[in-house]
Chains A and B, each alone.
Chain A
Amino acid sequence: MNVRSQISMVFHLDKCIGCHTCSLACKNIWTDRRGTEYMWWNNVETKPGTGFPTQWEDQEKYRGGWKVVDGKLKLRSTDKRHTVTDIFHNPSQPTMDDYYEPWTYKYDELFNAPEGADQPTARPISMVTGEYINIESGPNWDDDLGGSPVYAENDPNFKGLSHEQRQQLFAIERLVFFYFPRICNHCLNPSCVASCPSGALYKRGEDGIVLIDQKRCRGWRSCIAACPYKKTFYNWSTGKSEKCVLCYPRLETGQAPACFHSCVGRIRYLGVLLYDADRLEEVAKLPDDQLVDGQRSLILNPNDPEVVAAALKNGIHESVVEHAQRSPVYQFVKEWKLALPPHIEFRTLPMLFYVPPMSPVMASKNDDTVESVSENFFHDIEEARVPLQFLANLFGAGHQAKVVYALKKQKAVRMYRRAVTVGDIDLKTAERLLTEAGSSVEEAEAIYRLTSLCTFDDRFVIPPMHREEAIEMIKDPHEHRASTGFGFVQSPERGL
């Protein structure tokens, strides 16, 4: 057992209202510079929809992630041999057209226009060339367009859905969508890291945050192609790649990342997990239907004395272990099995988990009266407006079992709470449903509390990072007393 710690996340999709506050919080801090205008380290997609960049989930097109060939993990985008031959022109690199051309408006034309019969307008100009442009697409161009034949229908997750199922989704009275906020998953087996010819990408040993060393990055762009979630971006102005940094400067000072902090729906949870790094490769090679369980088995029980001993032996700080024991992520992922990894079939072992959405509230149709209690109420899950197979393609590598389990449990918790608060359901029935869903009254209460009543401190259990102690081992702080605070910062300019 080789215990490591990893900052992990849960997004509760049922709570996301699609407000994009998270995206803007991130943009304002990290990506408002030249060359980064088009980047959205955090973005919120409408599902079904084509996403950002367009159809990123289609790995036939983008060739991201891993595949298993002859029992070996291979990058889909490049193997080592091809890195050499493809280095001049990367055949799998997306271009700006796959994202969008960033624009602003010529606002001064509003003020400087000569007096005339028409209202002056601020015309859009490209943020790349400064020329007037026709805006053809944007970062969330298909926002709220569930049911659209242009966007929703081209969602790569419709694989395996029957024609009828698809048609139903686009019928106006059945049309449905939900939101899918995305950041870098800070994967356990990151294909971005593995693909970098310069070795510029790395995973931080202490917390698992995946970063790009801007000085070592030489702009070969392999990570852009290799990340199946398209969460590394190429800065066309500096010639370097950039990605979500999980706001590590905030985490190091005990604050939640900006997108987490600002989340209006309070859908986001963050905590530390302990995992067994020795078994990564073995798990990443499992067949599709075993991947979810495999990844869960990597996550170790932080209350197990053996795990704790191994963690301490590996240099993980006591306080980190203690935070792992209180981690909301551990509860959602491992104890309750409510949160699932997105597209684990890409085999990067993402460490951001999603609680699949229930909405719209499911009720059985009975002569147009909405009946909220029905004996076969788990049956409703199969009849849900968001087809199960669609969710399974997103969160279960195409297999429904894990998604059904999570939805059933969520529904049972709802019924139970309804029995408690409204009382129109018999408590005995509710308890039976909980048992059927593999849950219990205590667990339902805990799920309810962490989902609905959670405070800031419940959602974000941020372990101390002990960076200051770690640095003491190689540098004597006293030696640096009274020296300049931040040193000299070099501006990211390229020169000739």
Chain B
Amino acid sequence: MSGSPFFLDEILFIVLPYLAFGIFLLVSIRRYIRETFTFSSLSSQFLENQQHFWGLVPFHYGIITILTGHVIGFLIPREILLWNSHPLRLYVLEIAAFIFGLLTMIGLISIIIRRATVPKIKMVTSWADWVLFGMFVVQILSGLYTAVFHSWGSSWYAAAAVPYLWSLLTLNPDIGAITAMPWMVKLHIVGAYLIIAFFPFTRLVHALVVPNPYLWRKPQVVRWYGIRKSPARPLH
């Protein structure tokens, strides 16, 4: 099937993803229930404000856009291909994706510099943070490389990678399209699985508790002890 020895492709593209998602789900749920207290990031803005802005803002806006792009492509590959059938539209999409990738990278670099140089910030940085930074660097660089040298990423992602991902999701894995991919793309895919597997152990879990109910809850929160409830609803 492929040129790789020992079913390497099968391990990396079939076993690893299931393993990664399994770990992700089980550990996240366990941690949410058993170690609720730790289920957050460890903000360091309090200790350093300026560089925090220049790192965190580009990084988050960049990565959220990029991830959303991947998800959209996964959900509506046909529409993406249709959109790309027009060269101008293709260029717009590719350039936009590249810019947001770059933004993420720039943000990540400032984050890493900040973590490495500000003495107070070093105190709140763990080894797991450094492992994450390493994984992100590999991930973003391989993504940017792919965007530049294996054009057009958005099209073949929709055409080849998405069917593979769906085949995983539907428990009928088909790695035919993936084994033929350039090794940089493979690195990107494997990197993603590793991040997903490591995710629930790290500060990344904060992404799972993004505070959505806030947008529609009432401003004030009152808790009653026992079952005695407020007869009338509280203010605003």
Contact = CB atoms under 8 A, between A and B. Distances in A.
A198 B225 contact: no
A139 to B, nearest CB: 16
Interface in B125-156: 126, 128
A87 B122 CA distance: 22
Nearest to B31: A495
B5 interface: no
Interface string B183-225: 0000000000000000001110010011101110101111111
Contacts, number: 164
A221 B43 contact: yes
B38 A493 contact: yes
Given A96-B47, A128-B123, A189 B214 contact: no
Given A214-B37, A277-B234, A202 B223 contact: yes
Contact of A80 (B215, B226, B230): B215
Q: How large is the interface on B (under 10, 10 to 19, 20 to 34, 35 or more residues)?
A: 35 or more
A485 interface: no
A449 B122 CA distance: 56
A69 B146 CA distance: 50
A215 B31 CA distance: 12
Contacts of A197: 211, 214
A89 B45 contact: yes
B70 interface: no
B230 A205 contact: yes
A471 B227 CA distance: 8
A194 B123 CA distance: 31
A204 B223 contact: yes
Interface string A316-345: 000000000000000000000000000000
A96 B46 CA distance: 6
B118 to A, nearest CB: 10
Contacts of B59: 88
Given A202-B223, A218-B206, A495-B38, A89 B124 contact: no
Interface stretch (B12-20, B48-56, B95-103, B172-180): B48-56
B222 A202 contact: yes
Contacts of B52: 89
B4 interface: no
Candidate in B36, B45, B46 with the most chain A CB atoms within 10 angstroms: B46
A361 B24 CA distance: 69
14 contacts: A129-B120, A199-B217, A202-B222, A202-B223, A203-B220, A203-B221, A216-B36, A218-B39, A315-B228, A473-B226, A473-B227, A495-B38, A496-B126, A496-B128
Q: Which 8 A-B pairs have the closest CB atoms?
A: A197-B211, A470-B226, A194-B219, A496-B128, A239-B42, A205-B224, A218-B40, A215-B36
Given A189-B220, A216-B36, A493-B38, 11 more contacts: A83-B214, A87-B211, A89-B52, A129-B122, A198-B214, A199-B213, A205-B222, A221-B45, A240-B37, A277-B235, A472-B226
